[in-house]
């Protein structure tokens, strides 16, 4: 009988191929360092890879530090030293495993036959684990606590201050940008887009001065970048957006260390509260199971 191929082993066996692909496609290398892209593509909560110099002491445990043939866990890609995320988990119907396989096939880094063999081994062993009662508590398409934590942060940032606005204000905003995408100038269907993303890293707010029109492709491509990071050297469009912000008296709070600390605490609190009530309800259910 073949040994079970763990998700971590599966990922590590293809890192070299992925980074070889990145050498020829630098834009993909940049995307793999993006948290939102990694979540969408692999269903993991951290960037697929991160520059070694940028990994904090707190996050170091989330990236492989050593494994053969890389005893120090580092790869050099496009002349940049990076480590790869280690936060991959085996579950009964594992979304990360499925998405990682799809990624490899899409990028032509693995054949259907190779992936089918890996899948067959994985399913066989998962069935063995379920039959033996050793499978951990996992819920297909269940809500991760991180989703609730991020939603709480968005809710806080979306309700700071006493500003109010309506659909008419949004139409005025679109008119300010001549009913065009603030990023590329294209016409067509325009979406509400936050120039500074609403999360605990960027500290954007749901204020009128931070809401600009964007076409769907730009909105998707921008991910969690702020407008300056996304536009890069396009200083003309950056200037237009900043002039709009000033016209709405919007001053981004992006550099407030105090607010960052408060939101970090709120993020932790939501996780602790959820854990508390899960344990409480599980205790009740356990008691109920023992009743005759």
pLDDT at 260: 86
CA–CA distances in Å: residue 24 to residues 18, 47, 74, 179 = 10, 20, 19, 37
pLDDT at 212: 96
Say if CB 19 and CB 76 are below 8 A apart.
no
pLDDT at 232: 93
The model's pTM is 0.53
pLDDT at 61: 87
**Judging by beta carbons within 10 Å of its beta carbon (0-12, 13-18, 19+), is residue 156 exposed, middle or buried?**
middle
Most confident among 222-231, 239-248, 270-279 (mean pLDDT): 239-248
Say if CB 203 and CB 157 are below 8 A apart.
yes
22 C-beta neighbours (distance < 10 Å), count: 22
Could you tell me the pLDDT band of residue 67, with boundaries at 50, 70 and 90?
low
Mean pLDDT across 184-196: 91
69 C-beta neighbours (distance < 10 Å), count: 5
pLDDT at 8: 87
Tell me how many degrees the CA angle 153-154-155 measures, rounded to the nearest 5.
90
DSSP H helical ranges for the chain: 7-24, 26-32, 35-42, 95-106, 112-131, 145-158, 167-176, 216-222, 227-231, 235-247, 257-289
**Is residue 70 helix, strand or coil?**
strand
**Is residue 44 helix, strand or coil?**
coil
Q: Which helix (H) or strand (E) holds 234?
A: none
Answer yes or no: is pLDDT of 178 > 90: yes
Report the chain's mean pLDDT, rounded to a whole number. 83
Answer yes or no: is pLDDT of 4 > 60: no
Answer yes or no: is pLDDT of 92 > 50: no
Q: What does the pLDDT look like over 109-137, one tens digit per residue?
A: 988 888 776 655 444 444 444 455 544 55
What percentage of the chain reaches a pLDDT higher than 90?
A: 46
φ, ψ at 127 (rounded to 5°) = -65, -40
196 vs 67 pLDDT, higher one: 196
pLDDT at 81: 92
Say if CB 208 and CB 250 are below 8 A apart.
yes
pLDDT at 138: 56
224 vs 138 pLDDT, higher one: 224
């Amino acid at each position: 009988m073949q040994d079970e191929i763990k998700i971590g082993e599966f990922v590590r066996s293809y890192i070299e191929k992925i980074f070889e692909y990145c050498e020829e496609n630098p834009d993909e290398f940049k995307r793999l360092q993006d948290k939102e892209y990694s979540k969408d593509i692999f269903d993991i909560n951290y960037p697929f890879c991160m520059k070694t110099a940028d990994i904090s002491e707190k996050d170091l445990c989330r990236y492989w530090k050593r494994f053969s043939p890389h005893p120090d866990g580092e790869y050099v890609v496009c002349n940049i030293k990076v480590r790869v995320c280690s936060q991959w988990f085996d579950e009964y119907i594992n979304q990360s495993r499925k998405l990682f396989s799809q990624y490899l096939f899409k990028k032509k880094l693995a054949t259907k036959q190779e992936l089918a063999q890996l899948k067959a081994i994985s399913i066989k062993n998962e069935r063995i684990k379920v039959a033996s009662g050793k499978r951990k508590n996992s819920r297909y398409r269940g809500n991760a606590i991180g989703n609730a934590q991020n939603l709480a942060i968005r809710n806080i940032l979306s309700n700071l201050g006493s500003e109010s606005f309506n659909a008419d204000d949004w139409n005025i905003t679109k008119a300010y940008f001549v009913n065009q995408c603030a990023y590329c100038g294209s016409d067509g269907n325009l979406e509400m887009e936050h120039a500074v993303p609403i999360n605990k890293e960027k500290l954007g707010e749901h204020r009128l001065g931070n809401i600009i029109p964007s076409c769907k492709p730009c909105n998707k491509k921008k991910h969690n970048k702020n407008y300056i990071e996304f536009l890069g050297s396009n200083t003309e469009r950056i200037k237009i957006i900043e002039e709009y912000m000033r016209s709405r008296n919007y001053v981004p709070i992006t550099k407030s260390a105090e607010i960052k600390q408060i939101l970090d605490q709120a993020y932790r609190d939501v996780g602790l509260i959820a854990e508390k009530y899960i344990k409480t309800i599980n205790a009740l259910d356990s008691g109920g199971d023992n009743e005759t």
